[in-house]
A and B are shown apart, each in its own frame.
Chain A
Amino acid sequence: MALEDAHIMDGLDQLEAQSIFILREAYRKLKPLALLWSLGKDSNVMVWLARKAFMGHVPFPVMHVDTGKKFPEMYAFRDEYVRKWNLDLVLGECPPVEDMDPSLPPAARSAARKTAGLANLIDQHKFRGVVAGIRRDEQATRAKERVFSPRGAGHQWDVRNQPPEFWDQYATPYEEGMHVRVHPLLAWRELDIWRYIEREKIPLVDLYFAKDGRRYRSLGDQDITSPIESNASTVAEVIAELETSRTSERAGRAMDHESEDAFERLRVAGYL
């Protein structure tokens, strides 16, 4: 009766099941809840997982914090899939770069706009839970994150005083003005994301695929993201390329490299 047996779960199945569990916990415990949709590959996977969790629906708003500097292809992608996936899109604007902390290096300063835009949006809608698609393997500071990461009033991340988190029990906010960042993809690696995209046939903006020998491995604002040399023009080719790659995914993100602590300062203030 082999047909009647339960599947043996592979690594992707396990990651998927865990992410669904996390999204369902967030939806149950943190109301109102919203999901940050950056239009990149990870956040598309996250929207997809939400649809897995809620039987094809995304029962909470998706937020796009618009820096106004995204690639035109990304805006087209957004408008297409808001319709196709029946998403409740909430748009947020970012303050001008002149308003940002002048002691930050230039690219970090540009990235800080997004943090400020996000903070405004969260305050305006009084969101208690914000689902974000960061992963531990992206960046050393993110490796320290919790699945449910409480943010104090003012959105500060208290990295030295994080709550214990074990046995799938997550902290939920306990003070006025706090919110919780929820990270369903924390345990995923870049390759897992791509293998899942391949398995589930999740649509992506074309910028991830090589044109004229270059493609984007990670997508941020136009002015602070640069493409890598690559000939990978399909999902399968990207996977093959990553299986042998030894450089970091965010190598094309300028603000990660400006100074030893610039990225951590961004994150403490609420950057993803």
Chain B
Amino acid sequence: MTQTHSPSSQVRHGVSTPIVIVGHVDHGKSTLIGRLLYDTDSLPDGRLVQIVESSRKRGLAVEWSFLLDSLQIERDQGVTVDSTRIPFQLDGRDFVIVDAPGHRQFLRNMITGAADAEAAVLVVDASEGVREQTRRHAMLLRLIGINHVIVLLNKADSIGFDEARLKQVEGDIRQLLGRLEINVNQVIPASARDGDNIATRSEKADWYRGPTLLEALALIQPPASRHALPFRMPVQDVYRFEGIRYVAGRIERGTVREGDRLEIGGQGQEATVAEVCRWHAPHHPVAGAGESIALRLEPDLVPDRGDLLFPAGDEAAAPLKAARLRTRLFWLRGEPLRVGESFRLRLATAEHDVTVASIDAVVDLDDLSLSPADEVPPDGFAEITLAVARNILFDPFAPGMPDGRGVLVDRHQKIVGGAPLIGPAALPEGANAIHPTASGVSDAVRAGLRGHGRAVFWMTGLPGAGKSTIARHAEEALSREGLHVTVLDGDTVRSGLCSDLGFSPEDRRENIRRVAHVARILADAGQIVLVALVSPLVRDRAMAKAIIGDDWHEVFVDTAPELCRQRDPKGLYAQAEEGRIAEFTGVSSAYEPPARPDVVVPGDGDVARSVRHLTEAVYRAVR
């Protein structure tokens, strides 16, 4: 290590630089981390012994990655389940390694680790080159706003540190990252296992003139100060102690001093900062970005949580205001996202009701192209437009800044996606523009009015299974108990709402889509909805579930096919068997029973018993 590192004087004492290690599975992330810790002499006594011991027990040579697999379950599975953090020191500067797993289903764990990182090391197997997760992780680095990216061409020994081949891989990666507008600090040919170009310069690649990995890490500049930017403090809470009101929050950027005039966003009111308050600290009239403080305001106003405080009377220093927002979404829910779904958008401490007005483009991870689509798949990336009922205040997202960090949560406060706010969205032209408005009536108020919760019971089963009969009897029974119930059954909707549709797979899907939306509107109004629809395909029911959301309960009306055929209440089986009805479920087209329905109602016994089965499930859901 003969190259100069950044001198320690440049480094703020005690401030750690978090770096995240990402890359395709088996490209060598865990090995790299073990090696880094060993090379920087950061292993506590005992740890190395533990690794040697664990490796020996499993009949392996020293396996650097065991250092990370500190959970028993992980070792048993042989994969890294969750992100973890490991500190190390380099020339007096503290780093924290955030390890993120490479398995795509664990995207949310990776985000958890990577979102706070200042720099990333993207590990790419030199012989394999860019793979699916390489692209996925690179995309994510862009969306969470990582400023510095170092590319490590690992396992370069496997291709003999061949300059031409490594330059080829480097070219591919630079092209990929360039398209994502990511700056590349360095591309380093290395072998983590043998330590080539990690801490010491490798003799095997004498053509390489750039820094080793440790040298590259030492060159990472600390983040720029946010003090010079216009002041922003989202109100976190308001307290009253000993008769004094404190407006508490963390300063996201800029500085505030006593005497400053602030606008309280959301209310349009103004106030002067009477005091910058801290406990057990010398009084100081100024506070800056990153500090958690409390303000006394004059006049003594009571802002709400989420109100944004910013400089008053200076238009250039004010945040943006919009009711339609362009966002770059990373989607974390297990089911796809569709237009029309509603969420809470969390933005710092604020929360807003938003509706997905349009899915503008979905990223194809094979070539990073953008193309229009109806839905965003699980773990997908997309550009979408969110509509809010009224204007909200925000600053656009920028790498390394706390601005515009939108997060979508569902009705249960579960985080379902990250939605960095890029800017205001233009209103689309023409009659198709969607301007959803959010209801001001909360779920709790509706439940209070009705005296019960809401739910959608989606009953699927073969034609003739008894769905409509059971639904209608259940409707009567529940109504007698004072519950508000609506039944949507196939024939009823097809006589009106869906009278334009036939029975082709496309039309069936459209039928299901419409019924799902109606069910959702009814449920939003506080209603209990019983849907009786053959809905034979798993794929179509998954779509209905995505539309309906958390109120969805899948009911399988389980009746033997022979019995359905024998009952044939509408004479349809007979006609189908004569070939007079094409694509009749159970005869000429498939029925896919649900794999894990929430409720199974037997359809071949006593009707009263089947109805009781269903009504009991309804009670459990809404009481």
In the assembled complex, the CB of A67 is this many whole angstroms from the nearest CB of chain B, namely 26
B71 x A6 contact (CB < 8 A):
no
Cβ B81 vs Cβ A160 within 8 A: yes
Which B371-420 residues have C-beta < 8 A from chain A?
A: 402, 405, 407, 409, 412-415, 418
B354 within 8 A of A: no
Q: A11-B16, A164-B112 are in contact. Are A174 and B414 (CB under 8 A)?
A: yes
Q: How near does chain B come to A241, taking the closest CB pair, in angstroms?
A: 15
Q: Which of B70, B85, B290 contacts A9 (CB 8 A)?
A: B290
Whether B257 pairs with A14 at a CB distance below 8 angstroms is: no
B451 to chain A, nearest CB (A): 19
| Shortest Cβ distance from residue B600 to the other chain A in the assembled complex, whole angstroms | 23
Report the minimal beta-carbon distance from B415 to chain A, rounded to whole angstroms: 5
The answer to whether B241 and A189 have CB atoms under 8 Å apart is no
Q: Is the CB of A56 within 8 A of B280?
A: yes
The 8 Å CB contact of B73, one of A55, A160, A167, is: A160
Would you call B407 and A167 a contact (CB within 8 A)? yes
User: Nearest B residue to A162 by beta-carbon distance?
Assistant: B82
B26 contacts partner chain A, Cβ-Cβ < 8 Å: no
**Which A216-241 residues have a C-beta within 8 angstroms of B?**
none
Q: Which residues of A in the span 134-148 have a Cβ within 8 Å of any Cβ on B?
A: 136-137, 140-141, 143-144, 146
Given A12-B14, A166-B115, A264-B71, verify A6-B255 contact (CB < 8 Å).
yes
Q: Which residues of B contact A160 (CB under 8 A)?
A: 73, 81-82
Q: Which residues of B contact A264 (CB under 8 A)?
A: 71-73
Residue of B nearest to A175 (CB): B412
- Tell me which residues from 301 to 359 in chain B have a Cβ below 8 Å from any Cβ of chain A: 305, 332, 346, 348
Interface residues of B in 29-47 (CB under 8 A from A): 44-46
Taken together as a complex, chains A and B put the C-alpha atoms of A168 and B346 apart, in Å, by 10
C-alpha spacing A214/B461, complex, angstroms: 73
Given contacts A21-B250, A28-B305, A6 and B286 within 8 Å (CB-CB): yes
Q: For the complex, is A88 an interface residue (Cβ under 8 Å from B)?
A: no
Which listed residue (A17, A54, A166, A261) contacts B112, Cβ 8 A? A166
Q: Evaluate contact between A4 and B285: CB separation under 8 angstroms.
A: yes
Interchain CB contact under 8 A, A141 and B346: no
Q: Return B230 CB to nearest CB of chain A, in Å.
A: 14
Q: Which of B71, B109, B291 contacts A141 (CB 8 A)?
A: B71
Bound complex: CA of A105 vs CA of B260, how far in Å? 61
Contact residues in B for A28 (Cβ distance below 8 Å): 236-237, 305
Contacts of B114 in A (CB 8 A): 166
B556 within 8 A of A: no
- Flag if A247 contacts B46 (CB, 8 Å): yes
B85–A11 touching, CB < 8 Å: no
Find chain A residues with CB under 8 A from B94 CB.
Answer: 11
Q: Are B14 and A11 in contact (CB under 8 A)?
A: yes
Q: Indicate if the CB atoms of B292 and A17 lie closer than 8 Å.
A: yes
Chain A residues near B (Cβ < 8 Å) = 4-14, 16-18, 20-21, 24-25, 27-28, 51-57, 59, 136-137, 140-141, 143-144, 146, 159-160, 162-169, 171-175, 187, 189, 192, 195, 200, 246-248, 251, 260-261, 264
The 7 closest A-B pairs by CB, nearest first: A11-B14, A6-B288, A140-B70, A166-B115, A174-B412, A164-B108, A20-B292
